[in-house]
């Protein structure tokens, strides 16, 4: 899979990443148009195995609620909280994400974690992204679903994560109440940042796990999987029994 040699956030197109033959930075991708302005950048990480409409809705809801300039999807190579589970190839997941965000110019894909050895830790990614911009020119927002809250206090260097990036928690109607109260390992300051980033939205019936089960059983995936993604999955033989 093409690596990301310049630390850039590639815009949609060509499966969301640049060719290895790319000889220089993609101008105008990272910074805001006005000199001296602060870029408000949302980071949405995950396995995206496969991506679905729920991921797209979360990115758009976070961007709207917090007036973000851009939201970047960061697919993980080896999520630390999913040891031993085999994922679809990184190139396939990037291609599916590219299809998912087609027509949304403020959404992009950063494949940097797919080029790393070992587990994909959020703290490493945030540090890299901040280091690639002049000091004070970029403000990070970490987009989380309520499913991410379980065990959040056990993430590597979680206090620094929540200090480097303002969390945005997409709370869907019907999600359990009181999820923040279970995060006993977090400081009061970290909990307050989580509360301040709460975004309430209508429920979206979408689950990567459910989609893998349906596709593996040969069933129709339903409306949570856009048609273009379903056609790609079928063409490449992903998630079918024995794949």
CATH class of 37-206: alpha beta
Q: What is the mean pLDDT of residues 83-100?
A: 90
Per-residue pLDDT tens digits for 176-224: 777 788 888 899 999 999 999 999 888 777 889 999 999 999 999 999 9
Query: Hey, where are the domains in the chain?
Result: 37-206
Per-residue pLDDT tens digits for 117-168: 888 899 999 999 999 999 999 999 999 988 888 889 999 999 999 999 999 9
Strands (E), 63-157: 70-75, 107-109, 138-145
Cα–Cα dist 229/225, whole Å: 7
Q: What is the mean pLDDT of the chain?
A: 84
Per-residue pLDDT tens digits for 5-58: 323 333 344 334 433 222 222 223 344 455 568 999 999 999 999 999 999 999
């Amino acid at each position: 899979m093409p690596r990301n040699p310049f630390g850039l956030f590639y815009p949609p197109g060509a499966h969301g990443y640049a060719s290895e033959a790319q000889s220089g930075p993609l101008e105008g991708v990272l910074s805001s148009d006005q000199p001296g302005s602060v870029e408000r950048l949302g980071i949405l990480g995950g396995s995206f195995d496969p991506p679905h409409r729920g991921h797209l809705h979360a990115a758009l809801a976070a961007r709207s609620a917090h007036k973000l300039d851009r939201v970047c999807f960061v697919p993980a190579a080896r999520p630390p909280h999913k040891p031993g589970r085999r994922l679809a190839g990184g190139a396939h997941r990037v291609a599916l994400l590219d299809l998912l965000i087609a027509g949304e110019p403020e959404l992009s894909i950063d494949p940097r974690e797919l080029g790393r050895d070992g587990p994909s830790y959020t703290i490493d990614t945030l540090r890299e992204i901040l280091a690639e911009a002049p000091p004070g020119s970029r403000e990070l927002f970490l987009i989380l679903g309520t499913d991410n809250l379980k065990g959040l206090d056990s993430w590597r260097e979680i206090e620094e994560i929540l200090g480097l990036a303002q969390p945005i928690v997409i709370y869907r109607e019907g999600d359990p109440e009181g999820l923040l109260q279970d995060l006993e390992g977090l400081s009061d300051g970290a909990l307050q940042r989580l509360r301040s980033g709460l975004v309430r939205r209508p429920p979206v019936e979408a689950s990567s796990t459910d989609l893998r089960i349906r596709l593996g059983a040969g069933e129709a995936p339903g409306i949570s999987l856009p048609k273009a993604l379903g056609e790609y999955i079928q063409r490449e033989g992903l998630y079918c029994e024995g794949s």
